[in-house]
Structure 1
Amino acid sequence: MINQDSIVALATPSGAGAIAIIRISGSDAITIGDSVFKSIKNKDLTKQKTHTLHLGHIVDDSKTLDEVLVSVFKGPNSYTGENTIEISCHGSTYIQQQIIQLLLRKGCRMADAGEFTLRAFLNGKLDLSQAEAVADLISSDNEASHQIAMQQMRGGFSNEIAKLREELLNFASLIELELDFAEEDVEFADRTQFHELLNRIEFVLKRLIDSFAVGNVIKNGIPVAIVGEPNVGKSTLLNALLNEERAIVSDIAGTTRDTIEDVLVIGGIGFRFIDTAGIRETKDVVESIGIKKTFEKIEQAQVVIFLFDGFKFQVSGSEYIVEIEKVKNKYPLKPILVVINKVDLLSENEIQTINEKLETLNLKLLKISAKEKIGVDELKNELLSFVNTGALRNNETIVTNTRHYDSLLKALDEIQKVKYGLETNLSSDLIALDIREALYQFGLITGQVSNDELLGNIFANFCIGK
């Protein structure tokens, strides 16, 4: 499947900028680069050492297109494992297109999405899970997702899977050997050691599978719905959390008629805050649609902030408690934060009365003033507590990829079948079938087992030039 033709693409974002980088990879990459490059010191690129920089001009016949720096990387010591050059030119879109068109005329073709990384995988520079981590690294938008992508790109996840696969493969070989001597009724695989290995593999697989819940949250952000009656300060709270005037604030009930979303990074974790239309009885058709969307957002959110006006709560506290109970009973596993707003206008006795009314709910209560930004930091810390960041701090492997998660689930199912086979003295040929399937699922993760359709689906999501 490895194609030796030379491919070219813009490696930096499209559009004008100070500098743009054009990447070429393939067996003739350096030769093609040399044919359009005129060094200020008359250097021949094909004779230069790998990992060197050269100043000169890109020339189309007698026409000089730009002054550039050319980086030379000779295979196999390059990202793709092939001969590679990178042309750093000025960021004019005209210059970029002129140079790329010139290289196409000289024998390159435009790279497909992710083709540079695909070649790195096919040439053994990366395994498949590491290659996928490249895309995650590019799209990471907070510290936590960046940390996970870097760990996977360095091979933390694939090394753990490869070690398990190797140990299982060794026992699989012994089981297969027993099949060759089935008539002699001999056992080459120590069943006790094999059972211990299966227990260890099962433990690791369960840990990795459980980590997906955290990994998925870190990768995609945590949706947090801010709900409550109209005019209790939901939009003000959103603005205070984001530290900007993102939502419209007014004294008119029903100002927010649709959901407003924005993302805030707290402690390296992305939180997607959703300011919803207030929940109340209304004859306004547009506002009614907004309230319907509020309930939809509660369904989608992983955390719900139930916001109340401190003054109103003193008067109608029992009614509000009923509303909280409804949400709590409907979503028993969903974390709910009860937040009392405008506490800067309440006395200590009034706050104590509110505390006593809410004790029966057994929910976390926070007291803030969104307008004065009192208690906002405590709210952020409380939100962060809902994320298990222990795995991040301990640099444990965290699964974020749905394809990996699916293969881990299937591998675990096969391992449990093998365990059951051992415990019930199932014949070696049936146990061997389950072991092969488990090995297959492990191989799908790292790319030791792959096909063109799988690779096409994975790399189609990459950006051009990577």
Structure 2
Amino acid sequence: MISTDTIVALATPSGAGAIAVIRLSGPEAVSIAAEVFQSVSGKDIRKQPTHTIHLGHIVDGAKVLDQVLLSLFKNPNSYTGEDVVELSCHGSPYIQQQLVQLLLRKGARMAEAGEFTLRAFIHGKLDLSQAEAVADLIASDTEASHQIAMQQMRGGFSSEIEKLREELLNFASLIELELDFAEEDVEFADRGQFGALLDRIEFVLKRLIDSFAVGNVIKNGIPVAIVGEPNVGKSTLLNALLNEERAIVSDIAGTTRDTIEDELVINGIGFRFIDTAGIRETQDVVESIGIQKTFEKIGQAQVVIYLIDGGQLAESGTDKVRVELEKIKNQYPQKPLVVLVNKKDKLSENQIDNIKNELRAAQTLLFVSAKQKEGVDALKEQLLSFVNTGALRNNETIVTNSRHYDALLKALEEIEKVKWGLQSGLPADLMAIDIREALYQFGLITGQVTNDELLGNIFANFCIGK
């Protein structure tokens, strides 16, 4: 798994820009760079100390390709743990291409996706969960997802797992030692202390597993479906939330034929709003397909906003609305449902009170005027209340990776087996099997246990150059 060649890649996004960074890593990184770099002060970079920057030119024979800054990082004090050279050149795509091709001709190999971070993991600069957090950090597009990725990259999650694994490993060693003295019938592991440790591990595992529900929505955004009858103002509401004319608005019922999606960040949390086709009986084939997609989107959403025209409600009553709400609640009992009465500006205080009284069974009832953007902030606050951000404020460890979540579930299952065995007086050799499996699942998270297939699957999702 440990490569001995030298790799090269563009570390900044492709395309034109002010500058670009080309990264070399491997045993020949410095010598390859020295072949093409001419320092303006005449320095030999092979003799320069680590963590220094040098101004010079990249040359291909007699041809000068660019003036660059060369950053030098010698092993083991580099990101990958190998010799690393970074060339900060001008951001012309032509210059980038010429420099990379020159370095390839001098003996470097084009890096694969995530190979720099893979080498950092192999050389012990990062554990596996920290390496995965690097990809999450690059992909983070909200304050909350950035905060979680930073915490994991600093080792918050892995240090918590490693501490549990180490304590369990100590007891596992004592249990295994008992097997060597089975004929003497002695106990080296204090069963009372072992039981207390298992209780603590179980508590931490359950907390981490429960945090995945929050972590997953913070990482991927929270899908919110806006549903309701045609022409009640769904598209107007979407535009008001996004503060732009994203969806087409007209007085013609059925204008929205397909779902329209857009994202909004509220207090660092990403929400994906889905404006759906109005729900009604129709003979229009295209509109019918849109309505079918509406129900699909409700199933995919984590929060449902049921929008009602307040004027129509005041005139025709709430019987039909209550039937529709009951259908949604029965079909999706676990989804938070916000009943939103639109066109508040056209309602009197008495009409608002009557609607509140008749829809008092609604889980959450709010009044807005999407056209006037009145009540939109209250809706945003209500949406935020569905997300437990207390863990973020308290800097608690939050699990966002499905691979980690799966390993935690399996580890918990094994710990519960060990607890049952301890309470039932199970022989040490049988308990040892379950303890080993729990240790294996812990090791999968941090990388003490790994294989080429696992690493390939993880790092294949990285961008090239990282």
TM range (shorter): over 0.9
Measure, in 2, the Cα distance between the counterparts of 1:212 and 1:352: 40
Measure, in 2, the Cα distance between the counterparts of 1:231 and 1:308: 9
Give matches, 1:49-128, under 5 Å.
49-128=49-128
More moved, 103-112 vs 327-336: 327-336
For residue 355 of structure 1, report the CA deviation from its aligned partner. 1.1
Structure 2 equivalent of residue 420 of structure 1 = 420
SS in 2 for 1:245: coil
Measure, in 1, the Cα distance between the counterparts of 2:58 and 2:439: 51
Give matches, 1:237-316, under 5 Å.
237-316=237-316
Structure 1 equivalent of residue 233 of structure 2 = 233
What is the one-letter code of the residue matched to 1:295?
Answer: F
Measure, in 1, the Cα distance between the counterparts of 2:355 and 2:425: 64
1:378 aligns with 2:378: yes
Measure, in 2, the Cα distance between the counterparts of 1:172 and 1:362: 53
Give matches, 1:314-463, under 5 Å.
314-316=314-316, 317-359=318-360, 361-463=361-463
Measure, in 1, the Cα distance between the counterparts of 2:453 and 2:61: 42
SS in 2 for 1:150: helix
CA offsets 1:431-466 (integer angstroms, 9 cap, x no match):
111111100000000000111111011001100000
SS in 2 for 1:176: helix
Measure, in 1, the Cα distance between the counterparts of 2:324 and 2:178: 66
SS in 2 for 1:204: helix
What is the one-letter code of the residue matched to 1:187?
Answer: E
For residue 430 of structure 1, report the CA deviation from its aligned partner. 0.5
What is the one-letter code of the residue matched to 2:377?
Answer: D
Measure, in 1, the Cα distance between the counterparts of 2:401 and 2:346: 48
For residue 345 of structure 1, report the CA deviation from its aligned partner. 1.6
Give matches, 1:143-154, under 5 Å.
143-154=143-154
What is the one-letter code of the residue matched to 1:142?
Answer: T
For residue 318 of structure 1, report the CA deviation from its aligned partner. 1.2
SS in 1 for 2:359: helix
For residue 393 of structure 1, report the CA deviation from its aligned partner. 0.7
CA offsets 1:373-407 (integer angstroms, 9 cap, x no match):
00000000000000011111100000010110111
For residue 231 of structure 1, report the CA deviation from its aligned partner. 0.6
SS in 2 for 1:246: coil
CA offsets 1:153-205 (integer angstroms, 9 cap, x no match):
00000000000000000000000100000000000000000000000000000
Identity of aligned residues (%): 78
CA offsets 1:7-55 (integer angstroms, 9 cap, x no match):
0000000111111100000011011111100111011111111111111
CA offsets 1:55-97 (integer angstroms, 9 cap, x no match):
1100000000001001000110000000001000011111001
Give matches, 1:26-37, under 5 Å.
26-37=26-37
Measure, in 2, the Cα distance between the counterparts of 1:255 and 1:220: 29
Measure, in 1, the Cα distance between the counterparts of 2:357 and 2:348: 15
SS in 2 for 1:131: helix
Measure, in 1, the Cα distance between the counterparts of 2:250 and 2:43: 69
4+ residue stretches of structure 1 with deviation over 6 A?
none
For residue 329 of structure 1, report the CA deviation from its aligned partner. 1.6
SS in 1 for 2:53: strand
CA offsets 1:106-157 (integer angstroms, 9 cap, x no match):
1100001000000000000000000000000000010011000000000000
CA offsets 1:271-307 (integer angstroms, 9 cap, x no match):
0000000011111111011111111111111111000
Identify unmatched segments of 5+ residues in structure 2.
none
Measure, in 1, the Cα distance between the counterparts of 2:93 and 2:294: 45
SS in 2 for 1:306: strand
For residue 344 of structure 1, report the CA deviation from its aligned partner. 1.0
What is the one-letter code of the residue matched to 1:413?
Answer: E
More moved, 344-353 vs 51-60: 344-353
Measure, in 2, the Cα distance between the counterparts of 1:364 and 1:434: 46
For residue 2 of structure 1, report the CA deviation from its aligned partner. 1.0
Measure, in 1, the Cα distance between the counterparts of 2:208 and 2:321: 41
CA offsets 1:181-239 (integer angstroms, 9 cap, x no match):
00000000000000000000000000000101111111111110000111111000000
Structure 2 equivalent of residue 6 of structure 1 = 6
For residue 408 of structure 1, report the CA deviation from its aligned partner. 0.5
Q: How many residues align?
A: 465
Measure, in 2, the Cα distance between the counterparts of 1:64 and 1:389: 54
For residue 315 of structure 1, report the CA deviation from its aligned partner. 2.3
What is the one-letter code of the residue matched to 1:344?
Answer: D
What is the one-letter code of the residue matched to 2:116?
Answer: F
Measure, in 2, the Cα distance between the counterparts of 1:168 and 1:353: 61
Measure, in 2, the Cα distance between the counterparts of 1:339 and 1:362: 10
For residue 311 of structure 1, report the CA deviation from its aligned partner. 0.6
What is the one-letter code of the residue matched to 1:380?
Answer: K
SS in 2 for 1:290: helix
Question: Is the 2:339–2:362 contact (alpha carbons within 8 Å) kept by the matching residues of 1?
Answer: no
Measure, in 2, the Cα distance between the counterparts of 1:368 and 1:231: 15
Task: Calculate the TM-score normalised by the size of structure 2.
Answer: 0.99
For residue 362 of structure 1, report the CA deviation from its aligned partner. 3.6
What is the one-letter code of the residue matched to 2:324?
Answer: E
What is the one-letter code of the residue matched to 1:258?
Answer: D
Structure 2 equivalent of residue 174 of structure 1 = 174
Question: Is the 2:276–2:290 contact (alpha carbons within 8 Å) kept by the matching residues of 1?
Answer: yes
Measure, in 2, the Cα distance between the counterparts of 1:445 and 1:423: 28
Structure 2 equivalent of residue 19 of structure 1 = 19
What is the one-letter code of the residue matched to 2:407?
Answer: S
Measure, in 2, the Cα distance between the counterparts of 1:117 and 1:236: 46
Measure, in 2, the Cα distance between the counterparts of 1:378 and 1:19: 44
